Amino acid sequence: MAKKLRFALFLCLFFLSLPLYAREAAAPDVMVVHIEGVINPVTAEFLDKSIKTADESRADAVVIMLDTPGGLDTSMRQMVKAITGSPVPVITYVAPTGARAASAGVFITMASSVAAMAPGTNIGAAHPVSMGGEKLTKEMSQKLENDAAAYITSLAEKYGRNAKWAALSVRKSVSISESEAVKTGVVDLVADNVDDLLKKADGRKVMTGIGPVVLKTSGAKLRDIEMGWRLRFLKALSDPNIAYILMMIGVVGIFFELSNPGLVFPGVVGGVALVLAFYAFQTLPVNYAGILLIILALIFFIAEVKITSYGLLSVAGVISLILGSVMLIDSPLPFMRVSLKIILPATLTLAGFFAILIRTALRSHRARVTMGKEGLIGAECEAMTDLDPEGDVFVQGAHWRASSGDGIRKGEKAVVVSVEGLRLKVTRKP
């Protein structure tokens, strides 16, 4: 009996331990996040949600595939906080070949549990620049530089990386290749691909938001975290060129609605486009003088429709529009500015549109009036009675009383020369 009980107990323990063995034998779970392009609020929100998803699903690590020219300081700091506070180890991998981790990307790489690069990549040039469109004084620029240098130095020291080089990347905008980065201790390793990265990172003791953790990444099952449609849409809006095009659509839509009240559709489209454009502008270094010039251009165009200036207001509007477009986004970084390839076609198209509008308006002003009393002047009529000096005439389908000093007889043709109340003054047709 005792033997049977021992055997039954053994079987129970065996079957209860099977899930533990199965879990132990399961491949590690690693989530992959792709961060490409400018660092902005959308990118920061995406990374924050991705790390939370990895934590909730108990992933073994998160790999950030990074390729960025930089971006907003506030968004970069939000991403650094998410990485350093993550209970899941975060591996930043500057990849694929040809990718870079510049400016804000250097801070993100330095803040990661493991910093890695692919062959043919580079890292550096983290000098802070004004992203708000304003001109910085020498003192303010120095303050920003010191703050950024202290921040990146603390991150490098925390993870045992080259703090001296990190400070130089801010103060001197130095940049190095992946091979130099490994030799100088800026990053931890170089990997050919993600699989190679996970093999080399396996077994490393790294820091996370909850303390040191030993990585288990070899042979891991990879899961890509995709950016949802909402974030993809907002990211597209954050492109300076898209924001500018939306603003132009908004200007044209509002113009049509104000010049032709009651159309509704142009006003709705223009209003929505302007709201989306202003959302994008909050993530860009907008110069408000540029916005004011564009608004002034819109006022000039509307005034041209209401006031006969023979094109002067429209010329002023086109000049204001071009100057405002060039001044709209003020940044030393090329990827944060509106391309001239977008500005010139947009402004020239609008200029052509308003030129056609002005030409049509001038034609209508010069055309002879064909309705009302003014439309009778110069019209041909037929005498229904003798005009000696008064009588009846038939003009434009109606009978009128008329007078003439030419002694016009019944049936003769005449021409209206003026309208005095309900009487016409006519003269014999030459």
Q: Residue 220 class from Cβ within 10 Å (0-12 exposed, 13-18 middle, 19+ buried)?
A: buried
Q: Where are the alpha helices (DSSP H) in 29-159?
A: 41-56, 73-84, 104-110, 138-158
Give the residue among 98, 92, 88, 31 at the shortest CA–CA distance from 66: 92
Token duo for residue 222: 């990879």
Tokens representing 329 are 């986004």
Reply yes or no on whether 143 is catalytic.
yes
Q: Residue 215 in 3-state DSSP? A: coil
> How many residues does this entry show for the chain?
430
In the three-class reduction of DSSP (H, G, I as helix; E, B as strand; rest coil), residue 218 is classed as coil
Paired strand residues for 359:
none
Q: What letter would DSSP give residue 190? A: E
Amino acid found at 408:
I
Nearest CA to 182 out of 111, 123, 247 is that of: 123
Q: Which residue has the tokens 């389908």?
A: 397
> Active-site residue among 17, 52, 143, 418?
143
* Set 50, 103, 325, 331: catalytic member: 103
Q: Quick one: which of 404, 30, 401 has its CA closest to 201?
A: 30
Token pair recorded at residue 113? 């549990």
| Owner of token pair 């429209």 | 314
Strand order in the sheet with 100-102: 100-102, 122-124, 175-177
User: Beta strands 175-177 and 122-124: pairing type?
Assistant: antiparallel
SS3 377: coil
Q: Is 179 a residue of the active site? A: no
Question: Could you give the residue numbers annotated as active site?
Answer: 103, 143
